[in-house]
């Protein structure tokens, strides 16, 4: 568990992180979303004791990082995968880190195996691809077999195979009961990887929620229905409380009734169903929904969320 309370970091007149409070729980991957410059790396650095908060606190398993008796056994992190001396081999790098952390040599072989670098363990890191650097960085994070793991933008620059591998690894680590906190500025990537998201914009917390809560609540989540008695079915569904949109091809998009309820209603009325497909809004669409109409903003928080979502959406499409 990572616990932040009123966590604040100022660099001179720049406030990088402002009064952040959150709990990162074990057992699920928690995504940390924010546009470039939002304060994600600064927050992670404070969690790892690399930067001191100006105000507030952050603890891992109830203790500040500097008070952890064996930090590598408590927290593992991938911050900058390229921060490894190029003339070292993967093996010697890991061996050196393990020694410094008082960890047994066998862990080096174990983590090399976990990340799939055993065959190149004797090669100089300087010749590694970005994907191999990322794998080595993850191996380093895993050396102490820690219950808490932090990954800062782990998929940056990776090919689809590498992204798929890291995503699965993070989910497996969470399924083992670990706390997994992973930052990204890509909404679609987070949607595939995380079960919960914390969103920050300009250093401030603007959302902290399970992804399914957000996407299910979105009016862009709907059930797609095809029926040979479409007009009759549409009327029945509307009377049952659904909002029904008839599409050009004669199918229906239904909001406000879930697929089992629609199926039950059709059965009761003996109306045919040829397709009944729940369509969940994407994380990006759900956020857009939450922030869509600027004249309806009720608070500065919502305005900030809208700005952040717009920035994330723009970064995500590379515009």
By C-beta, is 40 or 178 nearer to ligand ATP?
40
- Please, what is the minimum distance in Å from the beta carbon of residue 15 to ligand ATP? 8
Cα 49 to Cα 53: distance, rounded to the nearest angstrom: 9
Cα 312 to Cα 304: distance, rounded to the nearest angstrom: 12
Region binding ligand ATP by CB under 6 A among candidate stretches 40-48, 79-87, 208-216, 258-266: 40-48
Region binding ligand ATP by CB under 6 A among candidate stretches 29-37, 57-65, 104-112, 117-125: 29-37
Q: Is 314 in the site for ligand ATP (CB under 6 A)?
A: no
Where in 114-173 is the site for ligand ATP (CB under 6 A)?
none
Q: Is 185 in the site for ligand ATP (CB under 6 A)?
A: yes
> What's the CA dihedral at 305, 295, 284, 157 to 10 degrees?
-60
Beta bridge partners of residue 182, listed in sequence order: 31, 151
By C-beta, is 36 or 168 nearer to ligand ATP?
36
Q: Is 8 in the site for ligand ATP (CB under 6 A)?
A: no
Q: Token pair of 145, please?
A: 């077999």
Q: Is 180 in the site for ligand ATP (CB under 6 A)?
A: no
To which residue do tokens 């989910």 refer? 171
- Please, what is the minimum distance in Å from the beta carbon of residue 12 to ligand ATP? 7
- Please, what is the minimum distance in Å from the beta carbon of residue 100 to ligand ATP? 25
**Do residues 71 and 149 touch, judged by C-beta distance below 8 A?**
no
By C-beta, is 8 or 140 nearer to ligand ATP?
8
CA end-to-end span of the chain: 36
Q: List the beta strands (DSSP E) in the chain.
A: 2-11, 14-24, 29-33, 55-60, 75-78, 148-152, 179-184, 196-201, 204-210, 222-226, 243-246, 252-255, 275-279
By C-beta, is 93 or 202 nearer to ligand ATP?
202
Q: Is 212 in the site for ligand ATP (CB under 6 A)?
A: no
- Please, what is the minimum distance in Å from the beta carbon of residue 90 to ligand ATP? 26
**Do residues 93 and 85 touch, judged by C-beta distance below 8 A?**
yes
Q: Is 53 in the site for ligand ATP (CB under 6 A)?
A: no
Binding residues for ligand ATP, how many (CB under 6 A)? 12
3-state secondary structure of 148: strand
- Please, what is the minimum distance in Å from the beta carbon of residue 155 to ligand ATP? 13
Region binding ligand ATP by CB under 6 A among candidate stretches 10-18, 74-82, 186-194, 210-218: 10-18
Cα 151 to Cα 44: distance, rounded to the nearest angstrom: 9
Among 4, 38, 115, 199, binds ligand ATP (CB under 6 A): 38
- Please, what is the minimum distance in Å from the beta carbon of residue 292 to ligand ATP? 24
Cα 279 to Cα 245: distance, rounded to the nearest angstrom: 14
To which residue do tokens 């039950």 refer? 264
To which residue do tokens 């009961």 refer? 177
Region binding ligand ATP by CB under 6 A among candidate stretches 35-43, 97-105, 168-176, 238-246: 35-43
Cα 8 to Cα 33: distance, rounded to the nearest angstrom: 17
* List of residues contacting ligand ATP (CB under 6 A): 11, 14, 16, 34, 36-42, 185
């Amino acid at each position: 568990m990572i616990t932040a309370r009123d966590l604040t970091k100022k660099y001179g007149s720049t406030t990088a992180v402002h009064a952040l409070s959150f709990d990162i729980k074990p057992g699920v991957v928690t995504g940390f979303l924010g546009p470039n410059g939002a304060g994600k790396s600064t927050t992670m650095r404070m969690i790892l004791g690399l930067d001191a908060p100006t105000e507030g606190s952050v603890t891992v398993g109830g203790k500040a990082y500097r008070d952890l008796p064996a930090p590598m056994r408590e927290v593992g992190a991938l911050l900058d995968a390229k921060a490894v001396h190029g003339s070292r081999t993967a093996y010697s790098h890991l061996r050196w880190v393990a020694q410094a952390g008082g960890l047994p040599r066998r862990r080096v072989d174990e983590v090399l195996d976990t990340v799939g670098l055993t065959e190149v363990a004797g090669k100089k890191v300087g010749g590694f691809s970005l994907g191999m650097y990322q794998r080595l960085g993850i191996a380093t994070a895993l050396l102490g077999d820690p219950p808490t793991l932090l990954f800062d933008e782990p998929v940056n620059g990776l090919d689809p195979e590498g992204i798929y591998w890291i995503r699965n690894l993070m989910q497996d680590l969470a399924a083992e009961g670990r706390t997994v906190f992973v930052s990204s500025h890509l909404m679609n990537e987070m949607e595939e990887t995380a079960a919960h998201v914390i969103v920050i914009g300009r250093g401030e917390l603007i959302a902290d929620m399970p992804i399914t809560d957000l996407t299910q609540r979105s009016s862009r989540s709907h059930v797609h229905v095809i029926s040979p008695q479409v007009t009759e079915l549409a009327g029945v569904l509307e009377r049952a409380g659904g909002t029904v949109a008839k599409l050009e091809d004669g199918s229906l998009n239904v909001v406000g009734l879930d697929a089992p309820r629609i199926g039950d209603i059709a059965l009761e009325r003996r109306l045919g169903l040829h397709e009944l497909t729940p369509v969940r809004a994407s994380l990006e669409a759900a956020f857009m929904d939450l922030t869509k109409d600027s004249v309806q903003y009720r608070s500065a928080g919502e305005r900030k969320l809208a700005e952040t979502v717009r920035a994330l959406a723009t970064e995500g499409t590379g515009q």
